[in-house]
């Protein structure tokens, strides 16, 4: 039996992918947990940017909201919101950004706006875009972190809030986006990455104890499995201790 929760394995696996010295655009929730877990373990020099204006934030506690005082007082610098979006993001200075969504499709398009076919009469009204379209467009790469639920992994999103990889190999370059887009999707079941041939998200790793069929059952499109399917290393007791310590402080 696994001794970790769904959010814990997602956070640990995502944190391992960060290299020291990277610049990360961090949102509230799991992304903030991931970035600070990495900063507290193997990547002490991560440069964290929060959209409210904090550059080089080093929070001791995880913030509840994106503009918490903890971020401003620990930051190297605090700049205005237009500077964050126009200079830092659109200007191409961020290595990795994190996104989550209510829906993701086979090409990594993300929906955080409405569920249902009619924007003006939605089945569910979600919070909306926030900084997501710019993160998806401009970070050098994007890691998506979300729970693997059948209603969330859909063939086509109802509303494209943030652009993924596109059906064509040159979709992003035709739009003028310099970033690679969502090339890693980390769920509580495994890791998906785009097939280099046609950009379709493909299962490349499963977490310990997970069966491929579990992942396919919770994906609405016929999920491809990479021939070199890997099994992720289980979270170590050190990783879980660091993660739980961070959570307990907050």
Partner 1 sequence: MAEHLGLSEAISRYVQDGDTVALEGFTHLIPFAAGHEIIRQQKRDLTVSRMTPDLIYDQLIGAGCVRKLLFSWGGNPGVGSLYRFRDAVENGWPVPLELEEHSHAGLTNRYVAGASGMPFTVMKGYLGNSLGEIASHVRFLDCPFTGETVAAVRALNPDTGILHAQRADRAGNVQLWGISGVFREVAMASGRVIVTVEEVVDVLDRRPGDFVMPSMAVTAVCEVPQGARPSYVQDYYERDNDLYRKWPEMSRDRDTFLAWLDESVMGA
On the 0-12 / 13-18 / 19+ scale of CB atoms within 10 A, 84 is: buried
Q: Compute the C-alpha angle 195/196/201, nearest 5°.
A: 25
Show the tokens assigned to 28: 């509230």
* Token digits of residue 245: 């310590």
Q: Say if residues 204 and 230 touch (Cβ distance below 8 Å).
A: yes
- Which range, of 86-94, 191-199, 213-221, 228-236, touches partner 1 by CB under 8 A? 86-94
By the rule CB under 8 A, 56 interacts with partner 1? no
Binding mask 138-157 for partner 1 (x = CB under 8 A): x-------------------
Piece of the chain touching partner 1 by CB under 8 A; list 59-67, 193-201, 222-230, 232-240 = 59-67
- Please say if 70 is a catalytic residue: no
Site for partner 1 contains 137 (CB under 8 A): yes
Q: Which residue among 38, 89, 144, 146 contacts partner 1 (CB under 8 A)? A: 89
Q: Decide whether 120 or 213 has the Cβ nearer to partner 1.
A: 120
Residue indicated by tokens 């919070």: 127
One-letter-per-residue 3-state SS of 58-116: CCCCCCCCCCCHHHHHHCCEECCHHHHHHHHHCCCCCCEEEECCCEECCCCCEECCEEC
Q: Does 12 bind partner 1 (CB under 8 A)?
A: no
The answer to the question of residue 161 lying near partner 1 (CB under 8 A) is: yes
Q: Is 51 in the site for partner 1 (CB under 8 A)?
A: yes
Q: What string marks each residue from 196 to 215 as x (binds partner 1 by CB under 8 A) or -?
A: --------------------
CA angle 13–187–132, rounded 5-degree value: 95
Question: Binding partner 1 by CB under 8 A: which of 1, 82, 238, 248?
Answer: 82
- Which tokens sit at 47? 């440069």
Give the bridge partners for 96, in sequence order: 24, 141
Q: According to the binding rule CB under 8 A, does residue 247 interact with partner 1?
A: no
Known catalytic residues are 51
Residues lying near partner 1 in the complex (CB under 8 A) are found at 28-29, 51-54, 63-69, 71-73, 77-78, 80-82, 85-86, 89-90, 113, 119, 125, 127-134, 137-138, 159-163, 166, 171, 175-177
């Amino acid at each position: 039996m696994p001794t970790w929760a769904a959010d814990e394995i997602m956070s640990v696996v995502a944190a391992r992918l960060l290299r020291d010295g990277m610049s990360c655009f961090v949102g509230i929730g799991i992304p903030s947990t991931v970035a600070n877990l990495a900063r507290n373990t193997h990547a002490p020099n991560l440069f964290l940017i929060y959209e409210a204006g904090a550059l080089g934030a080093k929070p001791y506690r995880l913030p509840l909201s994106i503009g918490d005082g903890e971020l401003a007082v620990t930051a190297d610098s605090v700049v205005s919101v237009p500077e964050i979006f126009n200079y830092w993001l659109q200007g191409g200075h961020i290595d990795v950004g994190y996104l989550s969504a209510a829906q993701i499709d086979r090409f990594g398009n993300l929906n955080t706006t409405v569920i249902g076919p009619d924007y003006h009469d939605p089945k569910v009204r979600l919070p909306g875009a926030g900084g997501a379209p710019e993160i998806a467009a401009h970070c050098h790469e994007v890691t998506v972190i979300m729970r693997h639920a059948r209603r969330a992994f859909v063939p086509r999103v109802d509303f494209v809030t943030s652009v993924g990889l596109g059906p064509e190999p040159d979709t992003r370059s035709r739009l003028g986006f310099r970033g690679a887009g969502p090339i890693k999707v980390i769920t509580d079941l495994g890791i998906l990455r785009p097939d280099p041939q046609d950009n379709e998200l493909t299962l490349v790793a499963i977490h310990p104890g997970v069966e491929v069929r579990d992942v396919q059952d919770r994906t609405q499109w016929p999920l491809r499995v990479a021939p070199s399917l890997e099994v992720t290393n289980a979270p170590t007791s050190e990783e879980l201790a660091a993660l739980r310590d961070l959570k307990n402080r907050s």
